[in-house]
Amino acid sequence: MVTENGEKSTAQIYENTRRKLGDSNTTPSPQLTVKMRCYRSATVCLVLLCVVLLTAVIVLSVKLTQDKDQLRVKIDNLTNERNWLMMENNELQKNFSKADEWIYFSSYFISTEMKTWDESRRYCRERGGDLIIINNTEEEDFISRKTISSGERFWIGLSDRDVEGTWRWVDGNPLSYSFWAAGEPNGNISENCVESIRPGWNDAPCYIAQKWICERNVL
C-alpha cells in the first residue's frame, strides 16, 4: 500500500522525468543553427584548402623532379662534350709534338720532312691547321729568323694557282701584306706556290719537295 507521501513522491518523479524528456526534444534556437552551419562551412572550406595545398605540393614536387632530371642530362652531355674535346685536343697535341716531325713555337709547327706544296698543306689540314698565313711583320720576322738560322726554304700558304698573278692565302683572302725578295715573283705560270727563303718570299713550282710551316689556333 502506497502512502500519500509515497504517491506524491512518485508523481514528482514522473513530472521531473517528463520535463527532462521534454527539454531534450526542444527545437534549437535560430542562433545555434546559424553557428552550426557556419562551423560546417568552415570545416568544408578547410578540408578543400588542405586538398588544394596537397595537390599543389605534389605537382610542384613532380615539376622539380623533372627539371632536376633534365638539368642532370644537360650536365652529363656537357661533361661528355668537354671530355671529348679534351681528348681531341690531346690527340692533336700528340700529332703536333712528335720530335721527329715537328718543332713547336707558339701556334706554328715547322716540319723536318720534305713534301710538295699540296702534300704539305694536306699534312697541316689533317692535324687541324693549314699552311701559315703571314699577316704582319711579327710573323714574317719569325719566319725569317728560322729561314736564316737553318738556311732552308719553307712552303707558306700563298699561291696564284687559281688566277695567274692574283695571290691568295689558303683561307681565300687576297694578299695584303707582302715580303717578296728582290725581283720576285718572277716565275709566271710555271711558279705558282710561295716559299719563304732568305731574305723574303719566292714563287716556285708547287711540285718541289721541301719543308713547310703550319699554323693553327692553340686552345
pLDDT in tens, 104-160: 555 788 888 899 999 999 999 998 899 999 988 888 887 788 776 677 899 999 999
Task: Check whether 172 has a pLDDT greater than 80.
Answer: yes
Contact 178, 201 (CB under 8 A): yes
Q: What percent of the chain has pLDDT over 90?
A: 30
In Å, what is the CA distance from 137 to each residue of 112, 140, 142, 144? 24, 5, 9, 10
- Asked if CATH classification 3.10.100.10 holds for the domain at 102-215, the reply, yes or no, is yes
Rounded CA separation 208/94 (Å): 28
Q: What does the CA dihedral 59, 63, 64, 66 come to, rounded to 10 degrees?
A: 140
Higher pLDDT, 37 or 209: 209
Q: How far is it, in rounded angstroms, from Cα 148 to Cα 196?
A: 10
The verdict on whether omega for the bond into residue 174 sits within 30 degrees of 0, i.e. cis, is: no
* Entry pTM: 0.53
For residue 26, give every residue at least 6 positions away whose Cβ sits within 8 Å of its Cβ, in sequence order, or none: none
**Closest by Cα among 97, 177, 184, 89 to 132:** 177
What's the pLDDT band for 218 if we cut at 50, 70, 90? low
